Structure 1
Amino acid sequence: MQLLTADSKSSRLPYKWIVVLVVIFGSFMSILDQTVINNALPRLQSAFATDLNNLQWVITAYTLAQGVITPTTAFFANRLGTKRFYVIALAFFTLGSALCGLAWNLPTLIVFRVVQAIGGATLFPLAITLLFYEFPPHQRGLATGIVSISALMAPAIGPTFGGYIVTYAEWPLIFYINVPIGIIAIVMALLLLRERRSEERMQFDLPGFLLAAIGLAAILYALSSATTSGWNNSLVLVTLIGGLCSLALFVVVELRIANRGKQPLVDLRLFANGPFLSSNIANALITFGFFGSLILAPIYMQDLRGLNAFQSGLFTLPLALASVLAAIVGGRMVDRFEPRVVLFPGLLLMGLSTWQLAAATLTTSYPWLLLVFAVRGLGLGCLLQPLTVSALSTVERQQYTQASSLNTVIRFVFTSLGIAVLATLVQSRAAVHISNLAQQLKSGTHGALLQVHQQGLTLAVQDAFWLSLVAFVLAFIAVCFIRVQKATPQQQGELSEQAVQQHA
């Protein structure tokens, strides 16, 4: 084990690559669990004898907890040390996963999902922080590209794995699968990671935390409830407006704390950084367009084309494989050139695939759909890690955790926003299309009415994909404003030498 320990100076594998091997487990688990449960909801509904309105809290509670906990990442990493906090987060996530598999009713499952989310919320921002500490700027694209494999594979494999469990196995396996992976990740982190502590001790920003927690929880609750209750529901409107007001007050409080020279919970002055701002605007739009539209594929494949959950999930496998390939190649290109060289082709591929999905009908061939999903995967693989690199390209080292956690919060919020808006759009547009088609129908037979319903829902799904395409067009415009200067060879050599001296 001497060659593999974190403190060994004669390690054959450089420490920075050991960090990659360790964090890839945690980031994969945390993102996988956000998607794997979606296809299992019908099985859970049957197991707990409940309706979908109550069951959606299994997802909503997880999202709310993540939104509340993620902004605290920088504080706990500062006070506990990055390694110790990463291990604690892994332990919470693994314990929560085991408890979820043991849940005996819906309330206990929701509570255990919160425990799971407390750990999962910080795993990805901590992974990015650990990487950016160890890799010099000219290698961060490759490093984040490799780790992004987990982030890209998880949402693609999740529906397939969840669909298999729904069709052929028992639902607790969804959660139990995380336990051995989590134990391996904890052991690796304990043995291989080096502790990193900040010399400057942060004080906990209680007012900022309360305002952020209330604001994010209210907004995420409103967005999640809008999919079932509708946007005109009074509770949805009250919580949404209240959440926005809380976040507005949060901005005032955090800026005032920062201007006094104290450390806020979230340093919003990061948005004065041009690459960080432009990258996160693009990140928000891409998250809305892609992760929000993940709900559309199961509707199309299962409700309209008659596939089961497992068969529907298989269509995401070309997306996963293509995204992995694009992430590895794109990471090298980001290091060699600059992020926009990868981002522009990625957005074009994503836009092309979205356009084709917006044109999909009840008779679109399955081989063509597989090709479209593969193109979508190539686009996705060119987007996530270059945006992370560009967002943190000019951020100070001591702000890596702040910046990466803020980046993650934006992704949480706009994933929920995308799901809420697109789900509501499908419901409302389906009613309009079905009404219009029914008025044109001369015969009212059962078969004709079923055809009208299917055609109306198909048109509604197409409308939702068109809205996603608009988001990608706006993201293309935002990427035009990203300006990241590539380090010169001399600067790259100096940074590499500094990294060697720091960790020798």
Structure 2
Amino acid sequence: MTTPPDTVAVDSADDKLDIGVFKIAGVVVLGAIMSILDVTVVTVAIPTFQHDFDTTYAIAAWSMTGYTLALATVIPLTGWAADRFGTKRLYMMALTFFVLGSVLCSTAWNIESLIGFRVLQGLGGGMLMPLGMTIMTHAAGPTRIGRVMAVLGIPMLLGPIAGPILGGWLIESFSWHWIFLINLPIGVIALILAFIVFPRDNPEPSQTFDFLGMLLASPGLAAFLYGVSSIPGEGTVKSAKVLIPAIIGLALLIGFVFHALRTEHPLIELRLFKNKSLRFAVMTMTLFAMAFFGSGLLLPSYLQQVRGESTLAAGLLIAPQGLGAMLTMPIAGRLVDKIGPGKIVLTGITVMSVGMAFLTQVKADTPYALLCGVLLVMGLGMGCTMMPTMTAAIQTLTHSEVARGSTLMNIVNQTAGSIGTATISVVLTTLLNRGATLGGKGVPVPPGAPDPSLANAAIGSRYNGQLAHLPRNLLDEGFDLAARAFAHTFVVALCILVATLIPAFFLPRAKSVVPAAADAPAVVH
């Protein structure tokens, strides 16, 4: 493949990060942090949407679901579109769609219009992360990719933590419109900088578009994720709302696998799994994403439901996790470029597992100082895990394979995260429903009304005035039972995290070998 005109071939002896790479990384992070924050920032606004638009919680939650499904629909198209139109043009187009969707969301006049505009926003946002990975990989080359991927890891790790904090502050200080309007100035700046900083495109639109693959992969992934994301709301996997879309989606995805292996240029290049490094990186990322996103659901819920903290306070208490990750990510990135990702990822998972083991003993009165210390330790491990694993998948790919590899890893991350969140939600809900009930403790329950568990009654007392007047000893017992349910659910997340050590053991433990010069990644100087 021809090297872009404003780049030069990789020189393995010259692996120092220069100002050009840092400029590209900065622009990519600007776009990535907006799209990732928007997944979580809307979470805290759902009750506000419910009130302002006079709708139910289930319908208001579609402002999140619609965005997520749009992401899932467009991600599979990114690899082909990047080859066809060029990464710079496609990135700017995706950013434009995202900013336009954000502005339209701020003008929504009812819940239906908001959901529609969120879908438009997601169509742009879904491409930003895989395109950002591709652009940065091309700019850095395999000998420097660990360090620049560490930069890209900042929004990926901080998004789930910073989103609720930012959303809560904007809604409390201004209005819900500003959780979308804040993207306008940032997006415009990112667009201008992308036009100036990103290298010129040199697309090679020789491959035909895999239309059948699109009809199988995009709706298949969206339907499967819709079914999986419906599990927490339904409380069971046996619901038709879960089973029907999940089975249809799975059938379409299986059909795509058979199609992709027989097609010369499939929409998603599954033959990349022949690459041993990518294969084990995908397995590692699958398990890690399940544990990371699943446990990420537990922490704010525990702080708000069991400890009674506000959304803003809960976000601030979780902040040490992000701080720990920021401390180790640059170090891990540099070490990955020198000794390979294998040892770094194993160390990171081990450190995270030690921290999560403490969370399996969490109680209703666990000191916040201890919790923050544990989260700091987990953050130190996180910084050594997610992006080094991404690096392991990408660094051995050739220039022409990077866009498809980035797309594949983002699909894995999105799918595994949804499965992990749904799994942890079902486990937690099941455990909260167990144990003593109000009726069993002698509290009168109206005929025909459900008899809630003490744990659910205690949590409900945070929001329900009648439940708040229950005897103090019953509420204390209920909060203890609720904390125990969270602790036992952390055990499930810990088991998934420990299992991640198995595929991580096979990740490369040496400095990557630069691909042949004829197809080597381009490096910006």
TM-score, length-scaled by structure 2: 0.87
- The equivalent residue for 1:87 is 92
1:272 and 1:7, CA in 2 relative to 1: closer, same or farther beyond 3 A? Answer: closer
> What code does the residue aligned with 2:102 have?
S
Identify the range of structure 1 (158-167 vs 281-290) with the bigger mean alpha-carbon deviation.
158-167
Q: Deviations over 1:385-438 (max 9, x none)?
A: 101110113222201111111100111111111111111211111111345x98
- The equivalent residue for 1:254 is 260
RMSD of the alignment, in Å?
Answer: 2.4
Q: Deviations over 1:40-91 (max 9, x none)?
A: 2222222222222112211111111111100100121122111100100111
Q: Deviations over 1:282-319 (max 9, x none)?
A: 11111111112222122211111011111111112212
**2:124 is aligned with 1:119:** yes
Counterpart secondary structure, 1:220? helix
Question: Partners in 2 of 1:50 and 1:337 — Cα distance?
Answer: 54
User: For residues 305-316 of structure 1, what are the structure 2 equivalents within 5 Å?
Assistant: 305-316=307-318
Question: Partners in 1 of 2:486 and 2:335 — Cα distance?
Answer: 35
Question: Partners in 1 of 2:192 and 2:53 — Cα distance?
Answer: 35
- The equivalent residue for 1:169 is 174
**2:18 is aligned with 1:16:** no
Question: Partners in 2 of 1:499 and 1:422 — Cα distance?
Answer: 39
Identify the range of structure 1 (362-371 vs 226-235) with the bigger mean alpha-carbon deviation.
226-235
Question: Partners in 2 of 1:221 and 1:154 — Cα distance?
Answer: 22
> What code does the residue aligned with 1:154 have?
G
**2:77 is aligned with 1:72:** yes
**2:259 is aligned with 1:234:** no
Deviation at 1:443, TM superposition (A): 8.1
Question: Partners in 2 of 1:240 and 1:503 — Cα distance?
Answer: 43
> What code does the residue aligned with 1:473 have?
V
Deviation at 1:485, TM superposition (A): 4.0
**Structure 2: segments with no counterpart, 5+ residues:** 9-16, 445-469
- The equivalent residue for 1:447 is 472
Counterpart secondary structure, 2:262? helix
> What code does the residue aligned with 1:226 have?
I
Identity score, percent: 33
User: For residues 86-485 of structure 1, what are the structure 2 equivalents within 5 Å?
Assistant: 86-230=91-235, 231-257=237-263, 262-435=264-437, 441=441, 446-483=471-508, 485=510
Q: Deviations over 1:170-207 (max 9, x none)?
A: 11111111111110000001112122223352221111
Question: Partners in 1 of 2:428 and 2:115 — Cα distance?
Answer: 27
1:8 and 1:423, CA in 2 relative to 1: closer, same or farther beyond 3 A? Answer: closer
1:499 and 1:387, CA in 2 relative to 1: closer, same or farther beyond 3 A? Answer: closer
User: Could you tell me whether the CA contact under 8 Å between 1:164 and 1:309 is conserved in 2?
Assistant: no
Deviation at 1:14, TM superposition (A): 4.4
Question: Partners in 2 of 1:184 and 1:128 — Cα distance?
Answer: 20
Counterpart secondary structure, 1:256? coil
Q: Deviations over 1:248-276 (max 9, x none)?
A: 1110011111xxxx211001111221111
**Alignment length, in residue pairs?**
486
Identify the range of structure 1 (288-297 vs 441-450) with the bigger mean alpha-carbon deviation.
441-450
Deviation at 1:7, TM superposition (A): 6.0
Q: Deviations over 1:82-137 (max 9, x none)?
A: 11001001111111111111111111111111111111101111111111112132
- The equivalent residue for 2:448 is none
1:483 and 1:340, CA in 2 relative to 1: closer, same or farther beyond 3 A? Answer: closer
Counterpart secondary structure, 2:204? coil
1:167 and 1:288, CA in 2 relative to 1: closer, same or farther beyond 3 A? Answer: same
TM-score, length-scaled by structure 1: 0.91
1:100 and 1:468, CA in 2 relative to 1: closer, same or farther beyond 3 A? Answer: same
Question: Partners in 1 of 2:82 and 2:512 — Cα distance?
Answer: 29
Counterpart secondary structure, 1:316? helix
Aligned pair partner of 1:49 in 44, 51, 54: 54
> What code does the residue aligned with 1:131 have?
M
User: Could you tell me whether the CA contact under 8 Å between 2:299 and 2:318 is conserved in 1?
Assistant: no
Deviation at 1:13, TM superposition (A): 5.8
User: Could you tell me whether the CA contact under 8 Å between 1:157 and 1:316 is conserved in 2?
Assistant: no
> What code does the residue aligned with 2:160 have?
P
> What code does the residue aligned with 2:115 have?
I
User: Could you tell me whether the CA contact under 8 Å between 2:88 and 2:198 is conserved in 1?
Assistant: yes
Question: Partners in 2 of 1:62 and 1:97 — Cα distance?
Answer: 11
Question: Partners in 2 of 1:44 and 1:8 — Cα distance?
Answer: 48
User: Could you tell me whether the CA contact under 8 Å between 2:396 and 2:512 is conserved in 1?
Assistant: no
> What code does the residue aligned with 2:214 have?
F
> What code does the residue aligned with 1:414 have?
A
Deviation at 1:484, TM superposition (A): 5.2
**Structure 1: segments with no counterpart, 5+ residues:** 1-5
Question: Partners in 1 of 2:18 and 2:348 — Cα distance?
Answer: 32
**2:47 is aligned with 1:38:** no
User: Could you tell me whether the CA contact under 8 Å between 1:292 and 1:422 is conserved in 2?
Assistant: yes
User: Could you tell me whether the CA contact under 8 Å between 2:85 and 2:203 is conserved in 1?
Assistant: no
> What code does the residue aligned with 1:240 have?
A
Counterpart secondary structure, 1:49? coil
- The equivalent residue for 2:466 is none
1:7 and 1:152, CA in 2 relative to 1: closer, same or farther beyond 3 A? Answer: same
